[in-house]
Amino acid sequence: MERFQQEQTDVLIIGAGAAGTRAAISSAENGTKTILVTKGPFGKSGITPVGFEGFSGNFDQPGDSPEFHLEEVVRSGKFLCDQDVAAVMVQEAMDAIQYCDALGVKFSKRDSAFEPFPTPGCKVPRLLKLWGGGMALLSTLKKKVEEFTAYPSIIDVREDTLISKILVRDGRVYGAIGLDLKKGVVRLFHCKALVLAGGGAGHLWRHSDCPPESTGDAFALAAQAGVKVVNMEQQLFYPTVGLFPPAIKGLEISYEWCLNKEHPELGGWLLNSKNAAFYPENEVGTRDFITHVMEKEVVEGRGTSHGGVYLDVTGVSEERKELIRRMNYSYKRLLQLGVDLLHEKIEVAPAAHTTLGGVKIETDCGTNVPGFFACGEATGNVHGANRLAGHSYLDTQVFGARAGRSAAEFAKDADWLPIADDEVKSEYTKIFSHLGWKTDGIAPCKLKEEIVQLVGTYLGPIRDGKGLTRCVNEIESVEVSGLPRMDAPETFEYNYDWAECIEVSLMCDCAKMVAKSALARNESRGTHFRKDFPLTDNVNPVQHTVVWLTNGRMEVTSEDVKLGKFQPTREKIPPF
Ligand SMILES: Cc1cc2nc3c(=O)[nH]c(=O)nc-3n(C[C@H](O)[C@H](O)[C@H](O)COP(=O)(O)OP(=O)(O)OC[C@H]3O[C@@H](n4cnc5c(N)ncnc54)[C@H](O)[C@@H]3O)c2cc1C
């Protein structure tokens, strides 16, 4: 193996967004040798840097408590989260916020006390304004990491390194392997414990506000390693994302500031192509609900020619206009792009925003594979079938800290598992099989386009069994006829075509995981709506869909959700 390098670390963290970076800090605070890998540049890669300005906690507001917070998370997630795991998130919310505050993250404050704002789905104000959004959060965490990277380093950062396989032996994780884009070598990381913090799969959908690299690698990597991946059918769409004109496509426009439940006379409107307001008056719902009513307009033929609806805030009160000007990040962005939200209605459509499904974790972020931990958007049993505003950052910080700590503790007592040379050789050969033009070669970007097309057609917010079966079959045909033909020119350093070949293989698995899980969930729940099963089934025990990938075969099973104090009423009900 000519172009091959290997290194060793106690803890390996895959992903350097808000979750992975927080995990690295917590592993290093335990004095544990840690490597942090990211497929792009550190501080600029993943969903976190494009994230907006909401960070939720629970404050000393009248009527609030961690228990009430948990109830709202569970009800908003339609009982699909494991309540012991979600409980950790709300119980440790304030520790996480105070930790970030002490690092220098700037939150909304009044007289030096945190100043939370109301959000849909929460009866008490819980959302802090995080000044500078995800980029500010990540750059502050990055600064802290840099304290550990100085010689002799506790954390080493490996940028531009795309992990293609996680290595498991005798049922325990012992490393990961991938392409080091900078050097054009295959790099093996030998470790005692691993934290997967690879973010979400938003960019499997054409209409998405996520960056192009969020291709869902983490879910495929985990499933291939024998880790339980749950609820992959649950993809959260952000309802009001710019659709037309092209300059605003993919830009999230915070409906939380544009529509207003407490003061409907102040709020804006969602209009269909006939200029009729269709959004229920006096109601600003959670994201799953608004997405559903918008998508219904489009599916039933009342959408715009581009497949969206209009957001109209031109007639709102001066008071609300002022609030939009002051608080709504997207208002300023839109102005820069030549669109004045306060003077013209704009075309919007729900866009893939956050992947709610993912790795099933326990409260310590451990999984069914010893030594394998996960955190952040890569996990799948924290929020359930919908996520409340500002709860992703919260999740990344609470579980990032826990995952890093748990991995460090695991590594302390673990011995080194020997490397399985045949497995490494086989992955090396697979990675290199893409290099060099083939006679029947196919561009990886063409296959990416085909997958995105299939996902967009069959895996939107409203689905049915027939379409889902077609989707699975068509992805499988891309897999069989397309993947082996992908090729890239034979150059080594920064060969993005080469990296894309790896990404497309993982994307294919991820898309199939979403389609198969959606097919297995014979009910409508939260963000997942089945036309052929339009009710939420709370008569039978609430179930996680669980995807398994063994020897290239994908199976979907199910297991009971860990309910707790909060139980649904045992009935079949319309989801909204
Ligand atoms: C437009 C937008 C606005 C948002 N606003 C908010 C908000 O205001 N509040 C809130 O709470 N949430 C918000 N979210 C959601 C939130 O930003 C994300 O859920 C969260 O930042 C995810 O963090 P993460 O660390 O889990 O993943 P990411 O930030 O996506 O990081 C993933 C990391 O994994 C790496 N990676 C992926 N695959 C591989 C691989 N194969 N090999 C090596 N590395 C890999 C990536 O390079 C990256 O470093 C928003 C999302 C979007 C899209």
Q: What is the mean pLDDT of residues 220-244?
A: 96
Q: What is the mean pLDDT of residues 128-149?
A: 97
Peptide bond into 152 cis (omega under 30): yes
> Cα angle vertex 173, ends 20, 202, to 5°?
40
What pLDDT score was predicted for residue 257? 75
Q: What is the mean pLDDT of residues 510-529?
A: 98
* CB-ligand 1 contact for 216 (6 Å cutoff): no
Peptide bond into 350 cis (omega under 30): no
Q: What is the pLDDT of residues 324-380, one digit of tens each?
A: 887 677 888 899 999 999 999 999 999 999 999 999 999 999 999 999 999 999 999
Among 138-152, 263-277, 385-399, which is the least confidently predicted range?
A: 263-277
Among 108-122, 256-270, 483-497, which is the least confidently predicted range?
A: 256-270
Residue 311: helix, strand or coil by DSSP? strand
Nearest to 48 by CA among 85, 30, 73, 23: 23
What pLDDT score was predicted for residue 277? 85
* CB-ligand 1 contact for 39 (6 Å cutoff): yes
What pLDDT score was predicted for residue 333? 87
3-state secondary structure 396-420: HHHHHHHHHHHHHHHHHHCCCCCCC
What pLDDT score was predicted for residue 261? 53
Of the pLDDT bands very low, low, confident and very high (cuts 50, 70, 90), residue 278 is: confident
Furthest CA-CA distance within the chain: 69
Residue 488: helix, strand or coil by DSSP? strand
Please determine, for residue 255, whether its predicted confidence score (pLDDT) is greater than 90: no
Q: What is the mean pLDDT of residues 75-100?
A: 98
Residue 571 CA, distance from chain mean position: 30
> Cα angle vertex 251, ends 209, 57, to 5°?
70
Q: What is the pTM of this model?
A: 0.96
Please determine, for residue 282, whether its predicted confidence score (pLDDT) is greater than 60: no
Q: What's the CA gap between 320 and 237, in Å, rounded? A: 25
**Percent above pLDDT 70 for the chain:** 97
Residue 448 CA, distance from chain mean position: 19
Please determine, for residue 262, whether its predicted confidence score (pLDDT) is greater than 60: no
* CB-ligand 1 contact for 209 (6 Å cutoff): yes
Q: What is the pLDDT of residues 165-220, one digit of tens each?
A: 999 999 999 999 999 999 999 999 999 999 999 999 999 999 999 999 999 999 99
Of the pLDDT bands very low, low, confident and very high (cuts 50, 70, 90), residue 551 is: confident
Among 268-272, 386-390, 528-532, which is the least confidently predicted range?
A: 268-272
* CB-ligand 1 contact for 252 (6 Å cutoff): yes
Q: CA 217, 219, 220, 223 torsion: positive or negative? A: positive
* CB-ligand 1 contact for 393 (6 Å cutoff): yes
Q: Which of 48, 126, 383 to mutate to test the pocket of ligand 1 (most atoms within 8 A of CB)?
A: 48
Going across the sheet that includes 543-550, the strands are 358-359, 229-230, 543-550, 553-560
Please determine, for residue 264, whether its predicted confidence score (pLDDT) is greater than 60: no
